Chain A
Amino acid sequence: KAGVTQTPRYLIKTRGQQVTLSCSPISGHRSVSWYQQTPGQGLQFLFEYFSETQRNKGNFPGRFSGRQFSNSRSEMNVSTLELGDSALYLCASSLAGQGFGYTFGSGTRLTVV
């Protein structure tokens, strides 16, 4: 079956702009999580959605937001981009979250210039 799909793969944006990233989970998976990966901070949790509800949120500013649709697809939005937002953004899906293991997508590489 198809894995976790993230689009786009690469993105270049200018400071101050906003961006939307998309994630399609594995069919049947209802939990979608987002992570930011940077060389300096490593892998950091952004938020997790289950059945269209945000269940958990990491320590990121309010500029980072997300949502999940009824088909479990999820989007992540970052407004007023800063240079420090340049990172690989990873999406992970799971049947129901904790305890079921998480499958990761290839990520979206965001570069802010």
Chain B
Amino acid sequence: AQRVTQPEKLLSVFKGAPVELKCNYSYSGSPELFWYVQYSRQRLQLLLRHISRESIKGFTADLNKGETSFHLKKPFAQEEDSAMYYCALVNTDKLIFGTGTRLQVFP
């Protein structure tokens, strides 16, 4: 069955520290993966698509098919990065979400 696992419910770091939000997936075939972010009182918004191989707000994510992972990384966390982060997998026109990781960045 297709599944997305985000093992950490909460990740707390200090400003300037590196961040890695973990995401593992289970999917037969070539997965298409996304990271979505939800800031406080804002709508869910797309952060990254793996096929774009882009860096948004300093975040990057690399698809590792061997480890079935799509971890989100940022070398230096900022306070404004505090939010809920969801990893998601697309399967036949539906998004399968992980349970999310709340990132708290302390000053």
Q: Is B10 an interface residue (CB 8 A)?
A: no
* Interchain CB contact under 8 A, B49 and A102: no
Shortest beta-carbon distance, A3 to chain B, in Å? Answer: 8
Whether A56 contacts B97 in the complex (CB less than 8 A), given A99-B32, A101-B34, A104-B44, comes out as: no
Q: How many A-B residue pairs have CB under 8 A?
A: 52
Interface size for B (C-beta < 8 A) is 20
* Interchain CB contact under 8 A, B46 and A58: no
In the complex formed, the residue of B with least CB distance to A50 is B93
User: Which residue of A43, A50, A98, A106 is within 8 Å of B97 (Cβ)?
Assistant: A43
> Besides the contacts A55-B92, A97-B93, what 20 more A-B pairs have beta carbons closer than 8 Å?
A33-B94, A33-B95, A42-B98, A43-B86, A45-B95, A45-B96, A48-B93, A50-B93, A55-B93, A99-B32, A99-B51, A101-B46, A103-B45, A103-B46, A104-B36, A104-B43, A104-B44, A104-B45, A106-B43, A107-B43
